[in-house]
Amino acid sequence: MPKNLQILAGVGRVVELEVKGQVTQRSVLDALEASHPALLGTLRDAQTKRRRPMIRFFACEEDLSDESVDAPLPGEVATGKEPLLIIGAIAGG
């Protein structure tokens, strides 16, 4: 998770979550926002639930940012063997 959001939520670099049902980007973000309400509206729009444009998702060495938010995440993420990385993209020139 980006450093500024770690500070906002009062967490470290790694956050462990229990996700009920299928493990997807949506269910992970739902669980993250439920356990850390300070993050509401930071990773995705609070109303539309669309991912913020500068937030990227990676797992198992793949960029999952453009995948459907309801697509199942890799099994290694669902079992906790691999992390879902939430990265704040860096832009500039």
* Residue spans per domain, the chain: 3-88
Q: What is the pLDDT of residues 7-30, one digit of tens each?
A: 999 998 899 999 989 999 999 999
Task: For tokens 């639930």, name the residue.
Answer: 49
CA distances from 35 to 10, 43, 53 (A): 11, 14, 23
**42 backbone dihedrals φ, ψ, rounded to 5°:** -95, -45
| pTM for the model | 0.88
On average, the pLDDT of the chain sits at 91
In this structure, whether the domain defined by 3-88 belongs to CATH 3.30.470.20 is answered with no
Residue 35: the pLDDT is 95
